[in-house]
Structure 1
Amino acid sequence: MAEGDEVATRDIRVRLDGTATESDIGALRKWLEREKPLDELVRAGRLRIHERPSADESGAPMGVGMEIVVAVVSGAASVVIRDLLDQVKGAVEAWRTNRREVEDGEPPEGRVDPVNPDDR
């Protein structure tokens, strides 16, 4: 991430690979909402976590066609995107570890990326 990216990037996108189910998407969103640092930011009104339709670079739906967006609410300038990105990545890995323990099969791979403002 370049030096000025913290200002330009206000959202983080979480995508699961094509093996993900709608249940996986919902469970991961709920997991993210309960993660302590993220939960505190949501409760303070500085962060929103929601699902939205997803498309790969060619425009074709990806997996179940949904992605999770962790959006910094306008005016929450004190939220540092780089730290938030690390927290979200750690939460996705913790969710994958938990899912591996409670369900059969390998959990879907997750990808966590800052959203380019031009991609909105």
Structure 2
Amino acid sequence: MAEGDGVTTRGIRIRLDGTATESDIGALHKWLEREKPLEELVRTGRLRLHERSRTDETGAPMGIGMEIVVALVGAAGSVLFQDLLDQVKKAVQAWRDNRREVEDGEPPEGRVEPVNLDDR
């Protein structure tokens, strides 16, 4: 295996605010898996989506205690990573717009930010 193959060091963390439910996390995860061009990257194994427990700085669980991490597999240039970050932000907004149309109440706010996965 070449250096960097299969290595995930850069990722994107998606956190929904305290009004989010487990159903919201699952629905957003599925939405991201089907969103173009993310779907192609997931299908080819270049992108992985994980749900994981989150904690605040003191270690206490926040809200439902889950976040979604989008991990780019292998070496990726900063331009590709920025494009992916922009696409994920658009996908989260599209999910919020869709949820607003199909469910009662305001959807949870989402925060999308780059994260170094080596610091987990």
Question: TM (normalized to structure 2)?
Answer: 0.86
How many residue pairs are counted as aligned between the two chains? Answer: 112
Question: Which position in structure 2 is the counterpart of 1:3?
Answer: none
1:59 deviates by 1.9
Shifted more, 95-104 versus 109-118: the winner is 109-118
Q: Quick one: which amino acid aligns to residue 67 of structure 1?
A: E
Residue type of the alignment partner of 1:77 = A
Uncovered stretches (5+) of structure 2, i.e. residues with no partner: 1-7
Paired with 1:68 and 1:81, the residues of 2 have a C-alpha distance of 17
Provide structure 1 residue ranges, at least 5 long, that are not aligned to the other structure.
1-7
In the other structure, the counterpart of 2:5 is none
CA–CA distance in structure 1, aligned partners of residues 41 and 107 of structure 2: 27
2:20 maps to 1:20: yes
Deviation, 1:44, is 1.3
Which residue type is aligned with residue 93 of structure 2?
E
With over 3 angstroms needed to count, the CA separation of the structure-2 counterparts of 1:44 and 1:77, relative to structure 1, is same
- RMSD (CA atoms): 1.8
Q: Normalization by structure 1: what TM-score?
A: 0.86
Shift of residue 9, structure 1, vs aligned partner: 5.7
* 1:93 alignment counterpart: 93
